[in-house]
């Protein structure tokens, strides 16, 4: 067994080897090596399908993190987390600091203060806090310029929306979550959350955002930046369920299907199937006007207002499909949503779920696992829901009705969401 002293050498050697692997790949492919220079790359440039290089990259992230913590030691490690981690990012987005001077030019603290309306003292403290986290640079005392990170905030609206929503909405909800757990112990209600306390309301996320269109737009954009990233491609759904084996003229109901983009992708590939996309009224009203919907025609795709907390009205479909729906809801509501299907189900009907599955600890890199553990907490912070392990999904179906046979599922290669299947065995 390695002694604690040799662990740091082991980590350092592994970091050196994996960094060389990453660098060699980038150089061999004429790609820029990582740099926060203002002209540096905006994102990691290693394609997801480069499994080995991606593994080296994940190992560097995990190992540098562990090395840093070990070198800090338990006391300074705990004390290195401060409640101020996100304050400069929040200030940058809240006060438009990244947009207060053009990329490629420089500005003094005083000029940024004039532009943003923030007092110069606050501008200086926020920017210097940010600079220590590699956002902006200060080429000469009191003079600020963009680097690659602040440039991204200035030029990429979606990233700016992500940081804004993350600091103004999610961070506030997170900070109130233990208060919500104290006030509403064991609650499964979506309006008894950190989000509700942070917003001083008894309303749900959806209800609050419906009153603030700009905040809703920003949150929607932020979420989209997440779900449109690599690993969320619709091809994973199209390719990883035997849609082609459904009966001729088979019917698929996409529950909470939003704009119907999953059904558009399936319709293109499986011409004998037809689709019904269900969502709340305002979503459906906008969705049915899309050119793809009109082009496919109502024989192939119908849009239908339906609240999944009420009984399912489309009887006898072959598949009832939920993508990224059930992880938003606590077990109590998921059971209700599944039971609402029962009157409509024919024997053999499939419930297909495209959603997160929590890994067992330690099976993926800490960095990747951390993203899922964080998502799990976010679900609680916003909705009193949580992410589920495979066994939790099985349990959920059992709890809803023993006539659901949970058949498990798989995580398609390079995908982030699993494809899970249950079959209705009732009459
Ligand atoms: C996280 S989004 C998932 C959308 C889509 N399935 C996807 O894969 O991106 C949740 C969707 O559920 C819809 N929704 C929320 N509450 C609903 C309800 N009670 N009945 C029907 N749809 C609902 C929302 O409007 C939204 O489109």
Model pLDDT for residues 62-71, shown as the tens digit of each residue: 999 999 999 9
Q: In the chain, what percentage of residues exceed pLDDT 70?
A: 98
Atom of ligand 1 nearest to the CA of 257: 6
Residue 309 CA, closest ligand 1 atom number: 19
Separation CA 301–CA 253 (nearest Å): 10
Is 83 catalytic? The answer is no
Q: Check whether 127 has a pLDDT greater than 60.
A: yes
Q: Cα of 301 to ligand 1 centre, how many Å? A: 18
| Residue range 358-378, pLDDT digits in tens | 999 999 999 999 999 999 999
Rounded distance, CA 129 to CA 134, Å?
Answer: 9
| Ligand 1: centre distance to CA 283 (Å) | 9
What's the Cα-to-Cα distance from 398 to each of 127, 338, 350, 391, 401, rounded to whole Å?
A: 53, 10, 15, 11, 5
Least confident residue range of 228-237, 243-252, 304-313, 380-389: 228-237
Which pLDDT band, with edges at 50, 70 and 90, does 314 fall under?
Answer: very high
pTM, to two decimals: 0.91
Q: Which of 5, 7, 21 is nearest to 59 (CA)?
A: 21
Write the CB contacts of 43 (distance below 8 Å, at least 6 apart in sequence): none
Query: Ligand 1 mean position to 244 CA, how many Å?
Result: 26
Mean pLDDT of 283-297: 88
How far apart CA 197 and CA 205 sit, in angstroms, is 11
Measured in Å, residue 325 CA sits from the centre of ligand 1 at 6
Residue 289 in this model has a pLDDT that exceeds 90: no
Residue 122 CA: distances (Å) to CA of 126, 143, 225: 6, 15, 30
Tens-digit pLDDT profile for residues 129-184: 999 999 999 999 999 999 999 999 999 999 999 999 999 999 999 999 999 999 99
Q: Please give the number of the atom of ligand 1 that sits closest to the Cα of 227.
A: 9
Question: pLDDT band at 1, cuts 50/70/90?
Answer: low
Mean of pLDDT over the chain = 94
Contacts of 124 (CB under 8 A, 6+ apart): 109
How would residue 220 be classed by pLDDT, with cut points 50, 70 and 90? confident
Of the residues 160, 236, 306, 327, only one is catalytic, namely: 327
Residues 297, 162: Cα–Cα separation, whole Å: 35
**1-21 mean pLDDT:** 87
Please give the distance, rounded to the nearest whole angstrom, from the Cα atom of residue 324 to the centre of ligand 1. Answer: 8
Residue 204 Cα to ligand 1 midpoint, Å, equals 14
* 367 Cβ contact list (under 8 Å, min separation 6): 58, 61, 62, 65
Question: How many residues appear in the chain?
Answer: 427
Look at the alpha carbons of 400, 404, 408, 409 in this order and tell me if their dihedral is positive or negative.
negative
Report pLDDT digits (tens) over 239-279.
Answer: 999 999 999 999 999 999 998 999 999 999 999 999 999 99
Pocket of ligand 1, candidates 206, 221, 256: which has the most ligand atoms within 8 Å of its Cβ, to mutate?
256
Atom of ligand 1 nearest to the CA of 262: 8
| Residues 250/256/258/264 CA torsion (nearest 10 deg) | -20
Q: What's the pLDDT tens digit per position in 89-121?
A: 999 999 999 999 999 999 999 999 999 999 999
Residue 221 has pLDDT above 90, yes or no: no
- Of 197, 195, 144, 152, the closest CA to residue 173 belongs to 195
Banded model confidence at residue 397, pLDDT cuts 50, 70, 90? very high
Q: Output the CA 259–ligand 1 centroid distance in Å.
A: 10
Closest CA to 302 of 246, 252, 235: 252
Please give the average per-residue pLDDT across 325-342, as a whole number: 98
User: What is the distance between the alpha carbons of residues 136 and 35, in angstroms, rounded to a whole number?
Assistant: 13
Distance CA 201, CA 218 (A): 20
Residue 185 pLDDT: 97
The pLDDT confidence band at residue 414, using thresholds 50, 70 and 90, is confident
Tens-digit pLDDT profile for residues 16-63 = 999 999 999 999 999 999 999 999 999 888 988 898 999 999 999 999
The pick from 235, 281, 325 for probing ligand 1's pocket by mutation, whose C-beta has the most ligand atoms within 8 angstroms, reads 325
- Tell the residue nearest (CA) to atom 18 of ligand 1: 307
Closest residue to atom 8 of ligand 1, CA basis: 323
Q: Report the pocket of ligand 1 as residue ranges, CB < 6 Å.
A: 227, 256-258, 279-280, 283, 307-309, 323-325, 328
Give the residue ranges of DSSP H helices in 51-139. 51-80, 87-94, 109-116, 120-131
């Amino acid at each position: 067994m390695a002694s604690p002293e040799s662990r740091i050498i082991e980590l350092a050697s592994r970091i050196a080897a994996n960094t060389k692997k990453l660098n060699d790949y980038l150089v061999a492919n004429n790609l820029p090596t990582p740099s926060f220079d203002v002209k540096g790359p905006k994102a990691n440039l290693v394609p997801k399908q480069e499994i080995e290089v991606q593994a080296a990259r994940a190992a560097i992230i995990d190992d540098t993190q562990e090395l840093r913590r070990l070198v800090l030691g338990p006391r300074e490690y705990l004390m290195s987390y401060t409640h101020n981690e996100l304050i400069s990012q929040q200030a940058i987005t809240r006060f438009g600091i990244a947009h207060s001077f053009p990329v490629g030019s420089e500005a003094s603290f005083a000029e940024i203060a004039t532009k943003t309306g923030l007092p110069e003292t606050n501008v200086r403290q926020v920017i210097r806090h940010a600079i220590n986290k590699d956002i902006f640079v200060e080429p000469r005392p009191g003079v600020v310029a963009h680097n690659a990170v602040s440039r991204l905030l200035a030029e990429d609206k979606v990233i700016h929306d992500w940081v804004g929503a993350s600091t103004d909405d999610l961070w506030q909800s997170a900070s109130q979550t233990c208060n919500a757990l104290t006030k509403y112990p064991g609650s499964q209600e979506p309006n008894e959350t950190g989000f509700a306390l942070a917003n001083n309301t008894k309303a749900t996320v959806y209800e609050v955002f419906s009153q603030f269109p700009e905040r809703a737009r920003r949150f929607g954009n932020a979420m989209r930046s997440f779900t449109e990233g690599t690993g969320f491609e619709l091809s994973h759904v199209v390719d990883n369920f035997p849609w082609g084996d459904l009966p001729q003229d088979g019917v698929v109901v996409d529950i909470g299907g939003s704009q119907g983009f999953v059904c558009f992708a399936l319709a293109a590939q499986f011409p004998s199937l037809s689709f019904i996309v269900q969502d709340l009224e305002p979503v459906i009203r906008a969705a049915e006007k899309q050119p793809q919907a009109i082009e496919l025609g109502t024989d192939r795709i119908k849009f239908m207002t339906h609240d999944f907390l009420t009984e399912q009205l489309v009887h006898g479909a072959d598949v009832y499909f939920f993508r990224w729906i059930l992880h938003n809801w606590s077990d109590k509501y998921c059971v209700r949503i599944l039971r609402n299907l029962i009157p409509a189900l024919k024997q053999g009907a499939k419930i297909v779920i495209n959603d997160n599955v929590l890994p067992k600890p330690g099976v993926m890199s800490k960095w990747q696992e951390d993203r899922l553990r964080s998502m799990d907490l976010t679900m609680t912070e916003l909705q009193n829901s949580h992410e589920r392990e495979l066994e939790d999904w099985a349990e959920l179906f059992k709890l809803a009705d023993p006539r659901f046979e949970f058949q498990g599922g798989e995580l398609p290669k390079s995908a982030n969401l699993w494809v899970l299947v249950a079959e209705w065995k009732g009459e």
